Amino acid sequence: MITQLEVSGIPVVLSPTTGPMHAGLVFRVGRVDEPLARRGITHLLEHLALHAFGVADYHYNGATGDEFTYFHMQGAETDIVAFLNGVSAALTDLPMHRLTTEKEILRTEASTRGDNPTEGLALWRHGARDYGVGTYPEWGLSGITPDDLRAWVARYFTAENAALWIAGPAVPAGLDLRLPHGERRPAPAPSSALPVRPAYFPGPPKRVAWDAVVDRSVSAGVFTGVLKRALFRSLRQEGGLSYAVQTDYSPRSDGRAVITAIADALPEKQGAVLGGFIDVLAALRLGLVEQADVTAEVNHRVEELTHAEEDGSRLPGLAFNLLIGRPVQSAEELVAELRAVTRDEVAAVAAAAFADGLLMTPGRNTADWAGYAQAPQDSASIVEGTKYASLEDPEVSFVAGDRGVSLVQEDSAATVFYDECSVLLVWPDGARRFIGHDGMVVHFEPTLFPNGHAVVPAIDARVPRGLWAAMPARDLERIPKPSPAAVPAAGASGGGGGKAWPIVVLVALAPVLLFFGGLGLIMGAVAFEDDIDVATEVTISVVFLTFALLAGWGVVWAIRRLRRG
């Protein structure tokens, strides 16, 4: 039986449990709220808030999700009280002395974390804002200041933006959550980087993944299970093509839900896994839903729900619901809704999901043949501005204009407009990477363009500081250098090249070479012929020969350049 209460102005869901007591404090904030240039700020706050508990042997944790961030603990009542009170206290008075260390810990955590196999879907669906931000690294960490953190707490970690769940007999005595006051912060509206759906994009090899956004409903949850059963049957049992098949149903705070499916594929079976996957989705879209699958899935979910009700694991989800203004349903209500789900309802979800689908194909496989539009890989336009040809590849050029930047190759272009820029990554050596709201990337390496370093300040000036994210210094060998063979071709098209310059060098330096070279040799010879002022003569000889050597190097460069031109 679930009870709704209020503690220190914070709404609470409470339910007795068969297991040990546990409780959690959740805030309506997560990665979707982070600007890309501050990516990681919520996670950093979560770490700072938990720092005080670092040495205690408690069953506690924190988690930063897309829409919610929470702190939870399981144990004795007094420990839970100490934990929740401690987290609230830490949020109001952040241990800023830990800032540098916690940033380092987060970097280490990021480097050890494996790839999320489905994150490409969110990136291609939403681009580099809100629901796509979580797919990027925590680029904001280095630039986050104590003031940024305090502002983030003031905006999101407030009593009005929090909810509490308690699996136990009652609200524990001594609970004292002194959170600052603020207001409820709804999640941002999801952006779209997909003009046409269903769509596909080529992903990494060895897996096929798909997602769709549908209305949040009990039948959509059942569909997710039915989809898994159908994929499993087709790809694993019948075809032996995949080993692992997974689906996921994640409700979103805007009343929609994301359904995700993924199947792995042996390298030589990628095309078949894709084909089988497409066929399964097509059959469900046509309403060919097995009643047995629906029944099995409903029973499975009812059983899960019963367990969750007993051990209190429904409570976090209910606390999330409180924060987004959804009703708190009893388990009995949910069971009744589940039991009422029909095959036709599941089929209707399947049709809606198919229409919104985004398919990640393995490697270079396409899916246009199956009715999926190719998701935009290029920008539709190129900015007007100054064009710089690459020193390395004559087919590549960088354009810097008043409105944005473009990187142009033979038949494709990536453009980021300054007013649609999510982040500018800034390397100390001058490299810059612009990422647009749509996820388009324009990477500029100044060493690969004529006068590249002179361009950097001009483009920097166009992007507000708030969008910058500082990148760590790179090793010298990681800074690209144009390969020498490519220099002349690029020079010819880059201005400042051509034959004039080598000719000037040749005319100027050839006499220098002859003059200093000749004199240097004479002085050297003289030095060894007599005994007078040998040291002076040798010094003059060496200095002259050094001049000659430099001139000779210039002459050789000019001759080579003229020959190639």
- Kindly list the residues in this chain that would bind other proteins in the complex (CB under 8 A): 238-239, 241, 268-276, 278-279, 282-283, 286, 288, 365, 368-371
CB nearer other proteins, residue 160 or residue 279? 279
CB 361 within 8 A of CB 199: no
Residue closer to other proteins, measured from CB, 277 or 320: 277
Q: Which is nearer to other proteins, 369 or 484 (CB)?
A: 369
Q: Please, what is the minimum distance in Å from the beta carbon of residue 300 to other proteins?
A: 25
Minimum Å gap between C-beta 71 and other proteins is: 47
Q: At its nearest, how many Å lie between other proteins and the CB of residue 266?
A: 9
Closer CB to other proteins, residue 274 or residue 348?
274
Backbone φ and ψ for 327, nearest 5 degrees, come out as: -70, 150
Nearer residue to other proteins within complex by CB, 182 or 239? 239
- Shortest gap between Cβ of 276 and other proteins (angstroms)? 6
Which pairs count as long-range contacts for 121-124, CB under 8 Å and 24+ apart, including other chains?
121/209, 121/210, 121/211, 121/260, 121/358, 121/360, 122/211, 123/439, 124/193, 124/194, 124/199, 124/201, 124/358, 124/360, 124/375, 124/439
Contact partners, residue 455, CB within 8 Å, separation at least 6: 388, 398, 400, 444, 446, 449
* Environment class of 173 (CB within 10 Å of its CB; exposed 0-12, middle 13-18, buried 19+): exposed
CB-facing half-sphere around the CA of 393: CA atoms within 13 A? 10
Tally of CB atoms within 10 A around 545: 18
Nearer to other proteins, 282 or 492 (CB): 282
CA–CA gap between residue 562 and residue 505 (Å, rounded): 11
Beta bridge partners of 73: 23, 60
**Judged by CB, which is closer to other proteins: 279, or 378?**
279
Shortest distance (Å) from residue 177 CB to other proteins: 54
Closest distance to other proteins from the beta carbon of 374 (Å): 13
Interatomic CA distance for residues 279 and 275, integer angstroms: 6
Position 556, amino acid:
V
Residue 377 CB, nearest approach to other proteins (Å): 18
Give per-residue burial for 24-42: e unless 16+ CB within 10 Å, then b.
bbbbbbbbbbbbbbbbbbb
